[in-house]
A and B are shown apart, each in its own frame.
Chain A
Amino acid sequence: MNVAPRYLGRGSWLSSRDPRVLVLTVVFFVFTAIQVWDIRLMFGLLAIALLYYRSAGIPFASVRRNWAFVIFFVSLLVLVNGVIAGGQVPRAVPGDLHVYLHLPLIGTPISAESLLAALAQLLRFIALAAVGFPLAYAIHPADFGATFARLGIPERFAFAIDLTFRFIPSFATDLQTTIDAQRVRGLELESGAGGLLGRMRRQAPILVPTVINAIAGAEDTIDAMDLRAFGTGRRSWLRHLVYDRTDRLVIAFFATLLFAATIAGFTTLSSRVWVPPFMIPG
């Protein structure tokens, strides 16, 4: 069982950036993308996102399943929202829609605008995933504490984030040991007997020992922290983070993108669905 965070982008251009750059990029990009509905601009954002993703050097073979899951999941969401549940077209007046047909039984109107809104949503999710993956795979897991501390998160919580990442490998090992031990005792996790409730109850022999063992072991960590006077003074971090010129340029680029999308949302039609002439019937 491999549940530890994977540092797949090691050595890439993006992994050599200050990790704060990767966090800020996601924040700026998420708020940029949610403002854009014109698919021409969305294709532009997707191109930027894919270029950014490429700079993380994440081997595709290692994340093929993740991409398959993301694409399946977002396609399902877009389909349900746009077609089955009759998703609204943002800022569109119902009477102005170019309707092709109404779905039988549920009567949802399928219009040029609703199809393009669905396409914009699909592109947006893929772009967000492309920007999100480097955050998952191109930051060294040991750097998260220092990263969030330097981004202004209170240092006790930043330390808790750091501690969380340090606990993960040992808890993953404990979990595997517990599963093996319970299987040896005859626990059948995959058995369907007893329905959902039975299956849930069968998770307890795995869940309870793993959790209680971790809680019992916490006292050692608490004592160690107290003995080192945790929280009595300002904390320093082993990893020293400094922005270089490239880091500043990357942050400035994505901040400008957000600023431009916000201004364009008020002054242009970027936040409305654009319909190419060939999709307008008759």
Chain B
Amino acid sequence: MSRIENIISELSSISTNPKKAMEDYKKETGKGSVGVMPYYAPEEIIHAAGFLPVGIWGGQTAITKARAYLPPFACSIMQSVMEMQLEGVYDDLEAVLFPVPCDTLKCLSQKWKGTSPVIVFTHPQNRKLEAANKFLAEEYRLVREKLEKVLNVQITDEALNKSIEIYNENRKVMREFIDIAAKYPNIIDPIKRHAIIKARYFMEKSKHTAMVKELNSELASSPVEAFTGKKVVLTGIMAEPNEVLEILKENGFAVVADDLAQESRQFRNDVPLGTDPLYRLAKWWQEFDGCSLATDAKKSRGPMLIDMVKASKADAVVVCMMKFCDPEEFDYPIYYRQFEEAGIKSLFIEIDLETTSFEQTKTRVQSFSEML
């Protein structure tokens, strides 16, 4: 196996086995893990405490127990998170950090069915005002206080600033990876690309950074091969389960850039410079744009995607619509119109973590590849 294959296989195996990652971390450091719910919680605070932040993004599962607590029109990701709470999947977490940027998450934050303590905080939505930074820094101060209590640790400003640097380094390396991966679609197919990114959620970030950095340099020194398929940009919450990415791969698609909440939206921006770490983290939210969960009276998502398509020389955009996610559903008619006006083709596929039948997705993707 080449070094590239080695790294990919290691990251892929971490991405599919968070439980083992948590156990390994405990063995190594003696410290546990803290769950991080979507979307955009300040993981750095957990990192600074010396604990492992673990991303909670649900998973492919049949929904049975959760039916008792959520009507069918709750989004697919939260249905699966609820199911896993009831299964006790998250009970090894020392705490769960819970942001509430949509109505569904507001409700879910009040009905955690696992045993871990839940720490809720609210992102401000009038984001461009300085008062929003102040508010969020205060929310983060309380998050830090609660974490200190639950984890029985001190989280100093110094440690926090250090963690922010580690995260910023990871963000930078990830952005580099996205660009390099786009040049090597024959090596980094959609499934591998996703696994490399997803592994971030279950690893101490400097470790992830080191591996991706090495991968980047190995890739960059490989010869660029001709790619005969089509290049696409993904947008939405996430592009799971892997069957969806398999279908893209089978039909010769490469992912050359993305605007997924689970992927590039996480590392599109760095946490800005400054001295007060909580204020810096708050300011990240102010500068972050083009996401359905971050209110934006200018709605820059469409133009941003159009730029992304141009910059990455993509052939089209694939809309990965999380089933029953209303923030994403409200953005769609606007950017779809903007795509049409800009002559950009797009494909709409539905993301449903419960489904085991992908026939319709196959038909859509195959038709789309025939159309391009």
Q: Do A and B originate from a single complex? A: no
Residues of B within 8 A of A (CB): none
